[in-house]
């Protein structure tokens, strides 16, 4: 089944105000750069974005925040973005902070048809407010629900025309679960190959989860904390 679309414009067709969008990545690592830039271009507004982080001021989701295109963020950590913190503390931006493991599992659950599950993470904290608490093996757990999105936008290293994806190193992070949880899942890849060129044993995300795939025009792959040692 050929899922290839010709460019980022076609990939994001149907993107509308007030949609819920999942975006893969951890920090700036493994984020769908081309799609984010296109989202800025379209001027779409009122978005609910589910993403572990919120980019930095001038890259990643920070670009959408600068333009005030995001109404609500669902994230686990947003500490690298001053504009974010300003909008949040001023009340312009709704923010739902979720423990990172619960965020990952809730996306997976959304893709896997599991409507809810119990986790110990957040028990006794404000994360647990309004949530059911139940003990298992003498330990309290809270009930967390699945997350899904109108569009899930992920970034992979290699992909084939069937939508099969391979991520590179720690750029994998949230991409595989979000790919499962999109009503429409869009994959931007560094290299798009014909079906049959990827080893079926090495594929991280099966094409069944992906509706549209395209090769990104340019990947800046900005590094957030360049740390090195001397030779």
Q: Which does 125 bind (CB under 5 to 8 A by kind): a copy of itself, another protein, none?
A: another protein
Site for a copy of itself in 111-140 (CB under 8 A): 112-120, 136-137
Site for a copy of itself in 145-174 (CB under 8 A): 145, 166-169
Interacting stretch for another protein, rule CB under 8 A, among 5-13, 41-49, 61-69, 108-116?
Answer: 108-116
Q: Are 187 and 179 in contact (CB under 8 A)?
A: yes
Interacting stretch for another protein, rule CB under 8 A, among 9-17, 40-48, 62-70, 197-205?
Answer: 197-205
Residues contacting a copy of itself: total by CB under 8 A? 22
Alpha-carbon distances of 219 from 30, 32, 44, 183, 230, rounded to whole Å: 10, 9, 22, 25, 27
What letter would DSSP give residue 73? E
* Residue 206 near another protein by CB under 8 A: yes
What letter would DSSP give residue 4? B
- Helix extents (H) in 90-174: 100-112
Q: Can you name the residues that pair with 4 across neighbouring β-strands?
A: 213
Q: Can you name the residues that pair with 141 across neighbouring β-strands?
A: 134
Interacting stretch for a copy of itself, rule CB under 8 A, among 4-12, 30-38, 64-72, 110-118?
Answer: 110-118
SS3 71: strand
Residue ranges binding a copy of itself (CB under 8 A): 105, 109, 112-120, 136-137, 141, 145, 166-169, 200-202
């Amino acid at each position: 089944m050929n899922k290839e679309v010709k460019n980022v414009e076609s990939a994001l067709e149907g993107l509308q105000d007030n949609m819920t969008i999942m975006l893969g990545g951890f920090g700036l690592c493994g984020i769908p750069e081309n799609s984010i830039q296109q989202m800025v271009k379209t001027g779409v507004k009122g978005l609910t974005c589910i993403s572990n982080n919120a980019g930095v001021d001038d890259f990643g989701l920070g670009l959408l925040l600068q333009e005030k295109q995001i109404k609500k963020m669902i994230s686990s950590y947003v500490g690298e973005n001053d504009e974010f913190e300003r909008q949040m503390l001023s009340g312009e931006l709704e923010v739902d902070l979720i423990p990172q493991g619960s965020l990952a599992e809730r996306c997976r659950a959304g893709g896997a048809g599991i409507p809810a599950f119990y986790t110990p993470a957040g028990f006794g904290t404000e994360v647990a407010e309004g949530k059911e608490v139940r003990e298992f093996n003498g330990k309290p757990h809270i009930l967390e629900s699945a997350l899904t999105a109108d569009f899930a936008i992920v970034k992979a290293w290699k992909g084939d025309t069937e939508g099969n994806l391979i991520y590179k190193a720690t750029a994998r992070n949230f991409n595989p679960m979000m790919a499962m949880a999109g009503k429409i899942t869009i994959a931007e890849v560094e290299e798009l190959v014909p079906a049959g060129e990827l080893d079926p044993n090495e594929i991280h995300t099966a094409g069944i989860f992906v509706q549209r795939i395209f090769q990104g025009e340019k990947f800046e792959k900005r590094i957030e904390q360049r740390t090195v040692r001397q030779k």
